[in-house]
Amino acid sequence: MVKIGILGVGTVGTSVANILEANADIIEARAGKKIVAKSGVVKNLAKDRGVSIKLSDNPLDVVDDPEIDIVVELMGGVEEPYALVKRALENGKAVVTANKALLAYHRYELQEIAGDIPLMYEASTAGGIPIIGALRTGLSANHIESIQGIMNGTCNYMLTNMINNGAQYEEILKESQELGYAEADPTFDVGGFDASHKLLILASIAYGMDAKPEDILIEGIENITSTDVD
């Protein structure tokens, strides 16, 4: 049996725990082992998360638990997750993370610490395609000439509506927030930071680039008007 601990049982973490439980038979048949979520970490224990796993507000209850085989990091942020992922790897635990900001800043350090211990992050960038596994394995013998694509769904939705429907920036931003496509504070998306982190992760795999977000030009869509896209 493989036991998983989840750092950050929010919207995504709750889904991970519930999917592992609901699809346990399918997952076991495909993986060849029973995989269960043992425990998770939240900031507010008083809030109902809708999960059956044991919850704690101390991340070390997961990271230092000798029974946990895999740590799933879904906290967000950079430095706190970095310290916890580093500690988990040093404890010999495999790590799965969807944290693109963490990887944009610390992927190489964590990969070096991990050594032969699995450090997986398919969900961090274009997980629905998926692309990271393809670059690391199926395309590993190829010269990658360029990487192009839609890196941020929020910007894609907004710009598509500005181009096709003549929507104004503020108007379509408000609509995106109401639909749940944009956060209450949309800076990470519309400022270009989300896309830059994803590009850095892909470039590091395809070209061996060891760059940080501050090393590249980042320009968002905040100042684009309908006139610009006509």
Give the pLDDT mean for 30-54.
94
Q: Residue range 115-142: average pLDDT?
A: 92
For residue 230, pLDDT beyond 80: no
Among 38, 93, 100, 198, the active-site one is 198
Q: Average pLDDT, stretch 12-25?
A: 95
* Residue 128: predicted pLDDT: 83
Residue 210: the pLDDT is 85
Q: Identify the pLDDT of residue 19.
A: 96
> What integer pLDDT is reported at residue 227 of this predicted model?
83
Give me the pLDDT at residue 74, please: 95
Q: State which fold the 2-124 domain adopts.
A: Rossmann fold (3.40.50)
pTM for this predicted structure = 0.89
pLDDT score recorded for residue 109: 94
For 214, the token pair is 């501050």
CATH architecture, range 153-229: 2-Layer Sandwich (3.30)
Rounded Cα–Cα distance for residues 154 and 177 (Å): 9
pLDDT for residue 120: 96
Q: What is the pLDDT of residue 185?
A: 92
pLDDT of 199? 93
Decide if 93 is catalytic. Answer: no
Reported as a single tens digit per residue, the pLDDT across 134-174 is: 999 989 899 999 998 899 999 999 999 999 999 999 999 99
pLDDT of res. 87: 98
Long-range contacts of 74-79 (CB under 8 A, 24+ apart): 74/6, 74/7, 74/8, 74/9, 74/10, 74/12, 74/13, 74/16, 74/98, 74/99, 75/7, 75/8, 75/41, 75/99, 76/8, 76/101, 77/101, 77/102, 78/102, 78/105, 78/106
* Cα–Cα dist 118/222, whole Å: 38
CA distance 136 to 141: 9
pLDDT in tens, 59-90: 999 999 999 999 999 998 999 999 999 999 99
**Average pLDDT of the chain, as a whole number:** 94
- Length of the chain as a residue count: 230
In three state form, how does the secondary structure of the chain look?
Answer: CEEEEEECCCHHHHHHHHHHHHCHHHHHHHHCCCEEEEEEECCCCCCCCCCCCEEECCCHHHHCCCCCCEEEECCCCCHHHHHHHHHHHHCCCEEEECCHHHHHHHHHHHHHHHCCCCEECHHHCCCCCCCHHHHHHHCCCCCCCCCCCCCCHHHHHHHHHHHHHCCCHHHHHHHHHHHCCCCCCCHHHHCCHHHHHHHHHHHHHHHCCCCCHHHCCCCCCCCCCHHHHC
Going by pLDDT thresholds of 50, 70 and 90, the confidence category of residue 129 is: confident
pLDDT (tens digit per residue) in 173-213:
999 999 989 988 999 999 999 999 999 999 999 998 888 89
Domain locations along the chain? 2-124, 153-229
| pLDDT at position 95 over 80 | yes
